[in-house]
Protein backbone atom coordinates (compact mmCIF):
# COMPACT_ATOMS: atom_id res chain seq x y z
CA UNK A 1 0.00 0.00 0.00
CA UNK A 2 1.45 3.39 -1.03
CA UNK A 3 1.69 6.10 1.64
CA UNK A 4 2.27 9.86 1.90
CA UNK A 5 2.26 12.17 4.93
CA UNK A 6 0.65 15.63 4.81
CA UNK A 7 1.33 17.52 8.06
CA UNK A 8 0.67 14.40 10.11
CA UNK A 9 -2.25 13.18 7.98
CA UNK A 10 -1.15 9.85 6.54
CA UNK A 11 -2.76 9.05 3.19
CA UNK A 12 -2.62 5.43 2.03
CA UNK A 13 -4.27 3.82 -0.93
CA UNK A 14 -4.71 0.48 -2.60
CA UNK A 15 -6.96 -0.84 -5.29
CA UNK A 16 -10.53 0.26 -4.45
CA UNK A 17 -9.79 2.19 -1.24
CA UNK A 18 -8.16 5.35 0.11
CA UNK A 19 -7.39 5.71 3.82
CA UNK A 20 -6.74 8.74 6.00
CA UNK A 21 -4.78 7.82 9.12
CA UNK A 22 -2.62 9.43 11.76
CA UNK A 23 -0.09 8.48 14.36
CA UNK A 24 -1.21 8.75 17.95
CA UNK A 25 0.66 8.47 21.23
CA UNK A 26 -0.96 5.49 22.88
CA UNK A 27 1.52 5.53 25.76
CA UNK A 28 -0.16 8.60 27.29
CA UNK A 29 -2.54 7.79 30.13
CA UNK A 30 -6.03 8.95 29.38
CA UNK A 31 -5.99 8.36 25.63
CA UNK A 32 -8.09 5.26 26.07
CA UNK A 33 -11.62 5.20 27.35
CA UNK A 34 -14.33 2.71 28.19
CA UNK A 35 -14.33 -1.04 28.07
CA UNK A 36 -16.83 -2.66 25.78
CA UNK A 37 -18.92 -5.66 26.72
CA UNK A 38 -16.00 -7.91 25.83
CA UNK A 39 -13.54 -5.84 27.95
CA UNK A 40 -11.82 -4.29 24.91
CA UNK A 41 -10.03 -1.00 25.60
CA UNK A 42 -10.93 1.74 23.08
CA UNK A 43 -9.09 4.87 21.97
CA UNK A 44 -10.70 8.07 23.27
CA UNK A 45 -12.55 10.17 20.65
CA UNK A 46 -10.40 13.24 21.32
CA UNK A 47 -7.34 11.26 20.29
CA UNK A 48 -9.02 10.55 16.94
CA UNK A 49 -9.85 14.18 16.06
CA UNK A 50 -7.64 16.67 14.31
CA UNK A 51 -7.75 19.66 11.99
CA UNK A 52 -5.15 19.79 9.20
CA UNK A 53 -4.53 23.33 7.93
CA UNK A 54 -2.56 23.91 4.72
CA UNK A 55 -1.06 26.87 2.90
CA UNK A 56 -2.49 27.46 -0.59
CA UNK A 57 0.49 25.67 -2.18
CA UNK A 58 0.33 22.77 0.29
CA UNK A 59 -3.40 22.42 -0.37
CA UNK A 60 -2.81 22.38 -4.15
CA UNK A 61 -0.19 19.65 -3.66
CA UNK A 62 -2.63 17.70 -1.47
CA UNK A 63 -5.42 17.96 -4.06
CA UNK A 64 -3.07 16.94 -6.89
CA UNK A 65 -2.02 13.88 -4.90
CA UNK A 66 -5.65 12.98 -4.15
CA UNK A 67 -6.43 13.14 -7.89
CA UNK A 68 -3.40 10.98 -8.70
CA UNK A 69 -4.23 8.23 -6.22
CA UNK A 70 -7.91 8.27 -7.21
CA UNK A 71 -6.91 7.18 -10.69
CA UNK A 72 -4.58 4.52 -9.27
CA UNK A 73 -7.25 3.13 -6.93
CA UNK A 74 -10.22 3.05 -9.34
CA UNK A 75 -10.92 2.68 -13.04
CA UNK A 76 -13.09 5.34 -14.70
CA UNK A 77 -12.78 7.73 -11.74
CA UNK A 78 -14.79 10.93 -12.33
CA UNK A 79 -15.19 13.59 -9.63
CA UNK A 80 -18.85 14.52 -9.23
CA UNK A 81 -21.07 16.33 -6.79
CA UNK A 82 -22.63 14.36 -3.97
CA UNK A 83 -26.18 13.52 -5.02
CA UNK A 84 -27.10 10.91 -2.42
CA UNK A 85 -26.32 9.82 1.13
CA UNK A 86 -23.99 7.18 -0.30
CA UNK A 87 -21.94 9.91 -1.96
CA UNK A 88 -21.85 12.30 1.00
CA UNK A 89 -18.52 11.93 2.80
CA UNK A 90 -19.30 14.19 5.79
CA UNK A 91 -20.56 11.32 7.95
CA UNK A 92 -18.66 8.07 7.85
CA UNK A 93 -19.55 4.67 9.24
CA UNK A 94 -16.70 2.19 9.64
CA UNK A 95 -18.09 -1.35 9.50
CA UNK A 96 -14.90 -2.91 10.86
CA UNK A 97 -15.08 -0.83 14.07
CA UNK A 98 -18.90 -0.50 14.13
CA UNK A 99 -18.40 3.20 14.80
CA UNK A 100 -18.93 6.57 13.14
CA UNK A 101 -16.54 9.32 12.15
CA UNK A 102 -16.77 12.51 10.15
CA UNK A 103 -14.86 14.74 7.77
CA UNK A 104 -15.26 18.47 7.11
CA UNK A 105 -13.61 20.33 4.29
CA UNK A 106 -12.97 24.07 4.40
CA UNK A 107 -10.84 26.68 2.70
CA UNK A 108 -7.40 25.01 2.90
CA UNK A 109 -8.20 22.70 5.80
CA UNK A 110 -9.59 19.26 6.54
CA UNK A 111 -11.08 18.37 9.90
CA UNK A 112 -11.43 14.69 10.81
CA UNK A 113 -13.07 12.79 13.66
CA UNK A 114 -12.08 9.15 13.35
CA UNK A 115 -14.32 6.27 14.35
CA UNK A 116 -13.84 4.84 17.83
CA UNK A 117 -11.58 1.82 17.59
CA UNK A 118 -9.89 -0.73 19.80
CA UNK A 119 -6.48 0.15 21.23
CA UNK A 120 -3.68 -1.93 19.71
CA UNK A 121 0.11 -1.76 19.83
CA UNK A 122 0.07 -0.01 16.45
CA UNK A 123 0.24 3.80 16.90
CA UNK A 124 -1.38 4.35 13.46
CA UNK A 125 -5.14 4.85 13.71
CA UNK A 126 -7.72 5.04 10.93
CA UNK A 127 -9.58 8.28 10.52
CA UNK A 128 -11.44 7.54 7.29
CA UNK A 129 -11.76 4.83 4.64
CA UNK A 130 -13.11 6.08 1.31
CA UNK A 131 -15.02 4.07 -1.24
CA UNK A 132 -15.10 5.23 -4.87
CA UNK A 133 -18.34 7.24 -4.74
CA UNK A 134 -17.43 9.14 -1.55
CA UNK A 135 -13.97 9.88 -2.94
CA UNK A 136 -15.50 11.17 -6.19
CA UNK A 137 -17.54 13.73 -4.26
CA UNK A 138 -14.58 14.54 -1.98
CA UNK A 139 -12.33 15.25 -5.00
CA UNK A 140 -15.15 17.28 -6.57
CA UNK A 141 -15.33 19.47 -3.46
CA UNK A 142 -11.53 19.76 -3.22
CA UNK A 143 -11.42 21.00 -6.81
CA UNK A 144 -14.30 23.38 -6.14
CA UNK A 145 -12.41 24.79 -3.14
CA UNK A 146 -9.47 25.57 -5.44
CA UNK A 147 -11.74 27.07 -8.09
CA UNK A 148 -11.69 24.22 -10.58
CA UNK A 149 -9.64 21.28 -11.72
CA UNK A 150 -6.03 21.41 -10.50
CA UNK A 151 -4.60 19.74 -13.60
Among 29, 35, 23, residue whose Cα is nearest residue 114: 23
- Report how far residue 48's alpha carbon sits from residue 128's, in angstroms, rounded to the nearest whole number: 10
Q: In a 10 Å sphere around its CB, with 0-12 CB exposed, 13-18 middle and 19+ buried, how is residue 145 labelled?
A: middle
pLDDT at residue number 124: 93
What is the reported pLDDT for 33? Answer: 61
Q: Could you tell me the mean pLDDT of each successive run of 10 residues in the chain, 151 residues long?
A: 92 96 74 64 83 96 97 96 90 92 95 91 93 96 80 45
How far is Cα 76 from Cα 19, in angstroms, rounded to an integer? 19
At residue 71, the pLDDT reads 95
**pLDDT value of position 50:** 94
* pTM tops 0.85: yes
Say if CB 70 and CB 78 are below 8 A apart: no
Amino acid sequence: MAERNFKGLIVRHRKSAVFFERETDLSVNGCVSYFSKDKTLYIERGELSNKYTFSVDEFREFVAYMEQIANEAWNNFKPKEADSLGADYADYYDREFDSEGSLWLGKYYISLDGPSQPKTDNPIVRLYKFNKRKFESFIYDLQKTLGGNTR
